[in-house]
Structure 1
Amino acid sequence: MPTPGTPLPPSLVPDCTKPEAHHAAYRSAKANDMIFVCVARQGQRWKVELDAFSCSGPTIPDEAVAILRSAAETLVLTDAVTQANIAPDYISMWAIETEQRAREIAAAFHAVMHGLRLLYTAVPTQQR
């Protein structure tokens, strides 16, 4: 199991298809001060969800959200996902063809969100 507050590898991203699994995984992320991440089956396809409200830390700035949004748009354009919602503290993407692909996407976005939060914590924001 990774150290709390570190990104999860694809194999450890929880399957939250069942509501009770979702609640348990969210509670665990909150208790460990981690960005919540999960995959869930939706019909024949999969969904990815990330939620930074589960942990303390700064909101990801607009400049960083643009990076996440660009990556999500590329996934939509290449048909890896059919829809994506990207906000500073929440990401969801759905209609992903396989569980493995959903896990890869979830782990990658989890690592980026975690890294961006660390960067914006370490580097002071300049006044505009």
Structure 2
Amino acid sequence: MTGVRLNNSVSACNDESMPRPGTHLPLPAALIPDCTNPEAHHAAYRSAKTNDATFVCIARRGPRWMVELDAFSSSGPTLPEQAAAVLQSAVEALVSDGTVTQANVAPDYISMRAIESEQKAREIAAAFHAAMYGLRQLYIAVPVPRRKA
């Protein structure tokens, strides 16, 4: 086994085999960029495109915050309808409970507005970034069979 060693009968990974945090992995809330400034937004989007990653950011809009995710910055596959439905359902739950008052959802793009605090916007952005990343990875590993006409 490469990269794994047994340590007191417990499996442990060598540092060399661990993935390095980066743009291809879901970002934790603290690392979601604040793109309130248009220049910061352009720079973050360019960085996501350069790194072939799903773009994610938060931005202040008046007294409230917004979340934006855009998978068009990545060359990965489009999310299938089933995966997009999961994200849609989660957005609807946030709108229903008043956490988010405006939202747009498409298979490769999500925006949510009028979030009360930066902390909540970061939490939502990180969760949706992880979900979108995970659903895309799952779709790559386990393609959805096409329906026969």
DSSP 3-state at the match of 2:26: coil
Superposed counterparts of 1:5-44, under 5 Å: 5-44=24-63
Q: Equivalents in 1 of 2:75, 2:141: separation in Å?
A: 15
Q: What residue ranges of structure 1 are gaps of 5+ in the alignment?
A: none
Q: Which position in structure 1 is the counterpart of 2:132?
A: 113
How far 1:33 sits from its partner (Å)? Answer: 1.0
Bigger Rg, which one: 2
Q: Equivalents in 1 of 2:65, 2:55: separation in Å?
A: 17
Q: Which position in structure 1 is the counterpart of 2:64?
A: 45
TM-score (norm. length: structure 1): 0.97
Q: Which position in structure 2 is the counterpart of 1:72?
A: 91
DSSP 3-state at the match of 2:83: helix
How far 1:81 sits from its partner (Å)? Answer: 0.5
Letter matched to residue 99 of structure 2:
A
Q: Deviations over 1:51-108 (max 9, x none)?
A: 0000111100111111001000100111111011110010000000000000000000
How far 1:125 sits from its partner (Å)? Answer: 2.7
**Number of positions where the alignment pairs a residue of Structure 1 with one of Structure 2:** 128
Percent identical: 69
Q: What residue ranges of structure 2 are gaps of 5+ in the alignment?
A: 1-19
Letter matched to residue 64 of structure 2:
R
TM-score (norm. length: structure 2): 0.84
1:99 to 112, 115, 118: 118
The reply on whether 1:127 has 2:136 as its aligned counterpart is no
TM superposition outliers: structure 1 runs of 4+ over 4 Å: none
How far 1:126 sits from its partner (Å)? Answer: 1.3
Instruction: Note the aligned Cα RMSD (angstroms).
Output: 1.0
Q: Equivalents in 1 of 2:63, 2:78: separation in Å?
A: 34
The reply on whether 1:59 has 2:78 as its aligned counterpart is yes
